[in-house]
Amino acid sequence: MSVAATARTQFMTNLRFRPALVLGLLIVVFWVFVALTIDLWAVYDPLKIVGRKLQAPSLSHWLGTDALGRDVLIRTLYGVRYSLAVSVVVVVCSVAIGSLVGAVAGFFGGWIDSVLMRIVDITLAFPPVLLAMAVAASLGPGLQNAAIAVIVVWWPVYARLMRGQVLDVISRDHIEAARAGGASSWRLLTKHILPLSWTPTIISATMDFGQVVLLAASLSFIGLGAQPPAPEWGAMISDGAAQFYSWWVAFGPGMGILTLGLGFNFIGDALRDILDPREH
Amino acid sequence: MTQYVLRRLISIPLLLLGVATVAFFLSHFTQADPLSALVSERQMNNPEVVAAAKQRWGLDRSVPEQYLIYIKNLVTGDLGVSFRTRRPVLADIAERLPATLELVIFAMLFGTVSGIALGVLASRFHDRIPDYLARLLALLGSTVPVFWSGLLLLYLFTVKFGWIPGPGRLDARAVAPPFVTGLLTVDALVAGQFGTFLNALHHLLLPSFVLGWSVTGIISRLVRASMLDALGQDYILAARAKGAGEARTLLRHALPNAMIPTLTIIGYSFAYLITGAVLTEAVFAWPGIGSYAVDSARNLDYPAIIGVSLIGATAFLLTNLITDVAYAFANPRIRLE
C-alpha cells in the first residue's frame, strides 16, 4: 500500500463512530441553536417579572423563579448568548495574538524570541483567576472588560504552543529545501511552516472554550463581568448564592456552564484522536 | 544539576521584577487617574491624604521615577494600604494566609489520593466501563464551576441532610485554639483540644472536597497514562511471572514508576488550587486570601487585589521551581537543558 493510502486508512479508522464526539456535538449544537433562535420561542421575557418571587420549580416555571420573580429557565437559556459570545471572542483573539507571537518568536529566534517568551513567562507566572480579576478590576466592571481580562490571561498558552510547533517544523528538510530555493521569510512562514503547525492549536482551542466560559462566568460571579439585570450565568449563580435556601436559582446557570464545558471537552478530545493520534 | 538549580534561582528575581512591572502598569495606567488606585473615593476630598499618597508613591514625579519608587516600596514589603480594611495589604494577607494554606493542603490531599486511585483503577480496567466512569468523574471535576458545586453541596449537606456544619472554619461556639501555626487542625492538636480539632476537620470536609475534585482529573489522567506505560514494561511481566498478585503488581511494581511524572503534575496542580481556592473560599465564607481577593475585587479595592496577585504569582513561581527541582532529583534520567 502506498504511504498516502496508509495515511488515508489511518484517518478513516480515526473517524470511526465516537459516542463522546456525537454527544459533544449534540450539546454544542443545542446551545448554539438556543442562542440563535431563543427570541422566536421564549415564552417569557428574561428581564420581566413573570410570577411570585422564589417559586420552586413547577409546570409553569420549570426551574422556578428568582428573587425578583423572573423565570430562571428562560434566563438560563438566554444566558448562553453571553457565554458563547465571550468565549468565541476570547478564543479567537487569544489564538490570533498568541499564534502570531509564538510563530514570530520561534521563526526569528534570537533576542526577539527571548523578549517575547519572557513576556509569556511573566504572564503565565500569575494564577489565571487572580490576574484576570486584577485586570478586570483595573479596567472597571463590565462584560467587555472581563473578556479583555480573560484574553490577557489566555493568549500566552497559544504563544508557547505555536512556538514549540514552529521550532519543530522549521528543522525539517522541506523547510531547508524551500529556503535553498530562495523563498522569502514571509513565504516560508505562511506557506511552509504555519500550515503544518496549526493542529495542536486547533485541538487546544476547542478544549479551551469550556474553560473560557468558566473563567468569564467566574468574573461575573465575583461582580466584575456582566452587570444586572443581564441573565449571564456567573451573575445568576451569584444571585443564587444570595438566595441560599432557594437552590433552583443557581441550578440552571451552573448546568449551562457544566454542559457547555463537557460538550467542548468531548469534541476537543475526539479532535485530538482524529487529527493527532500520536498524542493520545 | 547544581547549575540547573542555580539558573532557575537566578531567573526567579527577574520574573518577579516582570510580575511587579505588570502590577505597576495595572495600578498606574489602566485607571484614568492613578491616584484613584491609591486613595479611596471618600478620601479624595481630603487634601492631606491626597498629598501624602502623592508623596509616598511619588505621583508628582515622572513615570520612570514612579516606577522605581513602586519597586522600592514592594521590596520593603509595602504593598499599599487596603481601602476597605485600612490596614497594610501585606498584614491582611499574612493574617489570612494560614486559612488558605490549610484548605489547599487538605484539598491537595484529597485531589492526590482520589486522582491516584481513579488513575490506577482506570489503567487496570483499560477501555472498559470502570475506565470510562473514572475518566468521566475526573472530567466532571475539572469542568464543574466550584462556585456552583460548592453552593449546591453546601445546601444539600447542611440544610437538607444536616451532616455538615455551615460555612466558616469553626462553629460559632467553638473556641479557637491558641495561635501556633495558624492551621486550626494542627493548633487544636497542639493545644490538646480534641473537640476543636474534629470541628475544624468537619468544616474542612466539604470545601476541600469541592476544591480537591477540581485537580483530581489532572492527576488521574496522568497516573492512568503513566500506569498504562508502566504496565507494558518487561519488569511487570517478570513480576507476574514470578507469581506476584494483581494488587502487588499494580501497587508495588507499576505505581512507584508511574509516580515520577505524577510528582510534577501534583506540583503544578497547585496553580489550579490557588485559582479554585479564590472561588471556593468565596462560597464557603472561608476567611482566607481567596475570599479577601474576591471581596477586594467586588469593592474595587485596587491595592488589595493587586497585592494578592503579586503574592499569588510569587507563590506560584516558587512552587514551580520546587516542583521542577524535586522532579530533577527524583528522575536523574531526565537531562535538564
List pLDDT tens digits, range B102-135.
999 999 999 999 999 999 999 989 888 888 898 8
The count of CB pairs under 8 A between chains A and B is 144
Contact at CB, A258 and B148, closer than 8 angstroms: yes
Query: Is residue A154 domain-resident?
Result: yes
Nearest-CA distance B191 → chain A (Å): 35
- Partner residue opposite B147 with nearest CB, options A121, A218, A258: A218
Query: Is residue A7 domain-resident?
Result: no
Does B184 score more than 50 pLDDT? yes
Interface predicted TM-score (ipTM): 0.88
Instruction: Report the C-alpha gap between A244 and A271 in whole angstroms.
Output: 40
Contact at CB, B18 and A121, closer than 8 angstroms: yes
* Digit-coded pLDDT (tens) for A20-79: 899 999 999 999 999 999 999 988 889 888 888 888 899 888 999 998 999 999 999 999
CATH classification at residue A104 = 1.10.3720.10
Please report residues of A whose CB lies closer than 8 A to that of B159: 244-245
Query: Is residue A267 domain-resident?
Result: yes
Contact at CB, B26 and A134, closer than 8 angstroms: yes
Structural domain count, chain A: 1
Q: What is the pLDDT of residue A280?
A: 42
| Chain A residue at shortest CA distance from B313 | A126
Does A279 score more than 50 pLDDT? no
Query: Is residue A185 domain-resident?
Result: yes
- Partner residue opposite B30 with nearest CB, options A139, A218, A247: A139
Query: Of the candidates A136, A101, A162, which has an alpha carbon nearest to the alpha carbon of residue A220?
Result: A136
Diameter over CA atoms, chain B: 84
Please report residues of B whose CB lies closer than 8 A to that of A126: 19, 22, 309, 312-313, 316
Please report residues of B whose CB lies closer than 8 A to that of A134: 23, 26, 297, 305-306, 309
Contact at CB, A262 and B37, closer than 8 angstroms: no
Decide if B101 touches A, using CB distance below 8 A: no
Decide if B19 touches A, using CB distance below 8 A: yes
Please report residues of A whose CB lies closer than 8 A to that of B19: 122, 125-126
Instruction: Report the C-alpha gap between A196 and A97 in whole angstroms.
Output: 18
Decide if B191 touches A, using CB distance below 8 A: no
Task: Determine contact, residues A189/A195, Cβ cutoff 8 Å.
Answer: no
* Identity of the amino acid at B30: T
Decide if B23 touches A, using CB distance below 8 A: yes
Query: Is residue A79 domain-resident?
Result: yes
CA dihedral (A94, A99, A101, A106) positive or negative: positive
Nearest-CA distance B31 → chain A (Å): 6
Range of the domain at A65: 18-279
Q: Looking at per-residue confidence, does A106 or B302 come out higher?
A: A106
Instruction: Report the C-alpha gap between A102 and A166 in whole angstroms.
Output: 8
* Digit-coded pLDDT (tens) for B64-92: 888 888 888 888 888 888 878 888 999 99
Contact at CB, A134 and B306, closer than 8 angstroms: yes
Q: What is the pLDDT of residue A278?
A: 57
Query: Is residue A3 domain-resident?
Result: no
Q: What is the pLDDT of residue A96?
A: 96
* Range 150-179 of B in CB contact (< 8 A) with A: 151-152, 154-156, 159
Instruction: Return all residues near A12 (Cβ < 8 A) that are at least 6 apart.
Output: none
Instruction: Report the C-alpha gap between B270 and B293 in whole angstroms.
Output: 17
Contact at CB, B149 and A254, closer than 8 angstroms: yes
Q: How many CA atoms lie within 13 A of A74 on its CB side?
A: 19
Listed in sequence order, the DSSP H helices in chain B are 2-28, 47-57, 63-75, 89-124, 129-143, 146-154, 184-190, 194-231, 234-241, 246-248, 255-284, 289-298, 302-330
Q: What is the pLDDT of residue B337?
A: 46
- Partner residue opposite B275 with nearest CB, options A123, A129, A138: A129
Decide if B31 touches A, using CB distance below 8 A: yes
Nearest-CA distance A180 → chain B (Å): 30
Query: Is residue A111 domain-resident?
Result: yes
Nearest-CA distance A222 → chain B (Å): 6
Query: Is residue A9 domain-resident?
Result: no
> Per the confidence metrics, is the pTM higher than 0.80?
yes
Nearest-CA distance A251 → chain B (Å): 8
Which pLDDT band holds residue A212 (cuts at 50, 70, 90)? very high
Q: What is the pLDDT of residue A148?
A: 95
State mean pLDDT over A91-115. Answer: 94
> Which of A116, A121, A138, A206 would best serve as a mutation to test chain B binding (most B beta carbons within 10 A)?
A138
Which pLDDT band holds residue A9 (cuts at 50, 70, 90)? low
Nearest-CA distance A223 → chain B (Å): 6
Decide if B15 touches A, using CB distance below 8 A: yes
